[in-house]
Each structure stands twice: as C-alpha cells, then as structure tokens.
C-alpha cells in the first residue's frame, strides 16, 4: 500500500505526464493520421482514433490529438490497421515487386522459396534493397521455382550442404526454408525433401514452410515431420491428400499439428491451391487460418489475388470479423517470423508502418483457384500506406 505522501506524489507525476505529452508531441510530430477507425488486434483496439507519428515511430494513439504536423492524413471513414505482413509472396523475383506490394499496404513480406542455393543471391539483393522489410525462405531445391515446376523430381537437387551455405551467406535476410510438396513438383520424393529441408534449417534454428496440395503423401505422413513454428501454406488445397478425409471431416492429425504449434496459412495463389468448397467445409469445423498470404507476384493484379486486402476480404464471407481478419494479416503474421517481432502493431513505440484501407459495401465477386466464384457484400481496398512514419506516394 502507498502511504498518503507517496500517493500524492504519484498522482502529481501522473498529472504532469498528461500535461507534458501533448507539448512534446506538438514540437516533434511528423505525421498525424486523423479520425480513422483504428483496428489493431495486437492491443485489442477498434475505435475512432488519431495516430501521431514522430521519428518513424508511433508516439500517440488518442481519441483526439491536437497540434500541427507537416503531414496530416484524413482517415475519416477509413480503416487504419498496422502495416500488412504477407508471409508467402514471390516479391523477391525482381526489384519492381516490393514497391508494388507496398502500394497494397504490405509493409513486410516473405519471399517463399522463389530461389534455392543456386539463385538465392539475386533474391537476397532484392530483399536488401526493398523499401519495406523483405525476408526469404530458401527453397530446398537448389534451382528454386524459377526453373518451372518439378524442381524436386530429381532428389539430388535437394542438397542440404548447399542449402546451409545459402543460409549462412545470407543470414541477414534468410528466415527459413521452403519445400513444395505437390506431386507435380516432388512426386514420391516429398517426404525425403522435407526431411532434408529440416536438416538444412536445424543448425540455424529456422522454421520450414511447406506448400501442400495434391501431394503424393497424405497429411498424416507429412505433419509428423513438422516442428513447432513450421508453416503449412495452401491449407485449403483440394484433394488428393488434403486436410479433410473423404467425408469432408478434418483429419485429427491436422488439428493435433495446430495444437503443437504448426501454423496453417491460407496462401491464395493462382492454380490448385484452394476451392471455396474446401474453405467452407474446413471453416465450418472451426479450422480457420492462422495467417493469410497471397502467394503474390508482380502479375497478381490480374489474377484472383488482386491485392492483399482483397485476399483478406474473402474471409468476411465466412463469418470472420474485420478485427480477426486484420489480426491474421498483421500481428499473427508478425509472430511467425522473429524478423517482424516489433511489427504488426500500432502500439506506442512501434515502427510506424500503417495500412489505411477502405471497407466498401457492394456486390463483389471473389474467385478461387478453380474458377469458382462467391459473392460477398464487403471488400477492403488499399488506400494509403505509411512506411517508417512516411506516407508512401501513390504509384
């Protein structure tokens, strides 16, 4: 218990803080984002707020922040969320990728296995020159995906020593390994390729992301090879060998994998990665995504991906709330890779990466990877991105 004197002194200090903060802000604020509906699941916030930014960081999230700033964004009628983090992209394919993704509100990206040991240097260079944080997963096939499909038909391309060399060479940007497990990529080599990816990652304590869908092996054979923190992308890929049995029920192995810390990621993509039927059946059984991702590349505008906010919007149709959707694309994604551990939040002190979006009402058609369509009543559109406290110019 405080005595009376301590109490008075603490109260006085509190009063001084309240008075002082606005003065400090008034001198140094670089940018104010005014009047938006701020949805930040990392701090359980969904309310109309002003956000003050100084020195590249969030310095205030308040009902009203007075004062002048060199730049003010009028966010009234808009959704203000932490910068989006997309954990499965191919943004590292070329220098033009990252700035394009930034326009969509993506302030952090993972290139998931575009390159393997033979061609990772170019992708690492793109990550290093990216305006926002870009990180890489090394494909266990030394050729990566750039040689087309089938990078694991020859098991000798899954070379552990070369993969470890690639990680060691690019320790600043490499955050894990990637294995594409589909039959058309790996055939019966799938499990051995995954074992080799784990072997390559182990000395560095890194996670492995697997791309599943129409695998040679069933999920019950694949999942035991995953450790806590590993990621299954394309979680709603249709059969053969999906997460559902022939009656459409989730395999117990799948829920068990989630319980022990395996992450299940949406991974929109273009071909073979999801059907609305799979999404609906799995979601009805409570198997929602941990994270969303686009499997994005510079050509995605003209595919069913369009942009990350469009991919997020698909789940509004299945009963996820806006705040749950934003969580999957921000704080939940940030937790998967330690490179993002100060991101995915608008908490005071965090780097000021912000995605300003608009939730429009209307009749929107969303497509799966098999030309299936579903109509939704709402869709998020990217409006303005703030990166490191600065408004990103529209392209």
* Positions in the binding site for Zn ion (CB under 5 A): 295
- Return the structure tokens found at 254: 């799948």
Distances (CA, A) of 106 to 110, 188, 191: 11, 36, 33
Query: Residue 50 corresponds to which tokens in the numbers above?
Result: 């002003």
Shortest Å, Cβ 291 to Zn ion: 14
* 167-172: Cβ within 8 A, 24+ apart: 167/138, 167/200, 167/201, 167/204, 167/206, 168/204, 169/120, 169/121, 169/124, 170/120, 170/121, 170/124, 170/136, 171/204, 172/128
Given the complex with Zn ion, which of 30 and 295 has the nearer CB atom?
Answer: 295
Least Å distance, CB 244 to Zn ion, is 22
Nearest approach in angstroms of CB 122 to Zn ion is 17
Q: Of 190 and 295, which CB lies nearer to Zn ion in the complex structure?
A: 295
Min CB(37)–Zn ion separation in Å? 32
Which CB sits closer to Zn ion, 295 or 307?
295
- Computed on alpha carbons and rounded to an integer, the radius of gyration of the chain in Å comes to 22
Nearer to Zn ion, 75 or 175 (CB): 175
Q: Count how many Cα atoms sit within 13 Å of the Cα of residue 61 in the half-sphere of its side chain.
A: 24
Instruction: Name the residue nearer to Zn ion (CB basis): 104 or 295.
Output: 295
Q: How far is the CB of 241 from Zn ion (least distance, A)?
A: 18
CB atoms within 10 A of CB 110: 30
Residues whose CB is less than 8 angstroms from the CB of residue 19 and which lie 6 or more positions away in sequence, other chains included: none
When the beta carbons of 26 and 146 are compared against Zn ion, the nearer one is 146
Residue 90 CB, nearest approach to Zn ion (Å): 6
CB of 180 to Zn ion, least distance (A): 8
Q: Are 42 and 331 in contact (CB under 8 A)?
A: yes
C-alpha distances in Å from residue 107, one per residue of 46, 236, 345: 21, 25, 12
Minimum separation from the CB atom of position 234 to Zn ion (A): 8
| C-beta closer to Zn ion: residue 36 or 92 | 92
Closest CA to 102 of 286, 313, 355, 335: 355
Determine which helix (DSSP H) or strand (DSSP E) holds 203, and give its type and residue range.
Answer: none
- Residue with the CB atom nearest Zn ion in the bound state: 295
Measured from the CB atom, the residue of 230 and 295 that comes closer to Zn ion is 295
């Amino acid at each position: 218990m405080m005595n009376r004197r301590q109490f008075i002194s603490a109260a006085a200090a509190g009063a001084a803080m309240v008075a002082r903060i606005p003065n400090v802000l008034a001198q140094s604020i670089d940018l104010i984002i005014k009047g938006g509906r701020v949805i930040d699941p990392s701090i359980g916030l969904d309310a109309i707020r002003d956000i003050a930014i100084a020195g590249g960081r969030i310095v205030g999230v308040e009902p009203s922040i007075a004062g002048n700033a060199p730049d003010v964004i009028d966010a009234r009628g808009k959704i203000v969320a932490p910068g989006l983090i997309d954990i499965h992209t191919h943004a590292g394919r070329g220098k033009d990728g990252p700035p394009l993704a930034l326009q969509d509100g993506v302030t952090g990206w993972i290139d998931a296995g575009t390159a393997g040991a033979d061609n990772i240097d170019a992708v690492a260079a793109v990550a290093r020159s990216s305006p926002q944080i870009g990180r890489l997963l090394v494909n266990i096939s030394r050729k990566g995906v750039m040689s087309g499909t089938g990078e694991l038909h020859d098991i000798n391309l899954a070379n552990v020593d070369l993969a470890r060399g690639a990680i060691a060479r690019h320790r600043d940007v490499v955050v894990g390994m990637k294995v594409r497990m589909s039959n058309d990529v790996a055939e019966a080599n799938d499990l051995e390729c995954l074992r080799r990816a784990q072997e390559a990652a182990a000395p560095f304590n890194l996670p492995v992301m697997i791309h599943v869908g129409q695998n040679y092996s069933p999920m019950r054979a694949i999942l035991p090879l995953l450790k806590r923190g590993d990621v299954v992308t394309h979680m709603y890929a249709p059969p053969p060998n999906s997460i559902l049995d022939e009656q459409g029920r989730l395999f117990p192995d799948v829920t068990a994998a989630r319980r022990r810390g395996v992450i299940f990621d949406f991974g929109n993509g273009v071909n073979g990665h999801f059907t609305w039927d799979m999404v609906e059946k799995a979601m009805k059984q409570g198997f929602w995504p941990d994270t969303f991702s686009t499997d994005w590349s510079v050509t995605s505008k003209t595919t069913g991906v369009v942009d990350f906010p469009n991919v997020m919007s698909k789940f509004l149709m299945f009963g996820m709330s806006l705040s749950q959707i934003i969580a999957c694309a921000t704080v939940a994604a940030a937790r998967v890779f330690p490179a993002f551990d100060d991101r995915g939040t608008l908490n005071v002190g965090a780097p000021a990466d912000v995605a300003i979006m608009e939730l429009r009402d209307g009749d929107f058609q969303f497509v799966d990877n098999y030309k299936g369509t579903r109509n939704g009543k709402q869709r998020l559109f990217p409006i303005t991105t703030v990166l490191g406290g600065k408004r990103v110019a529209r392209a």
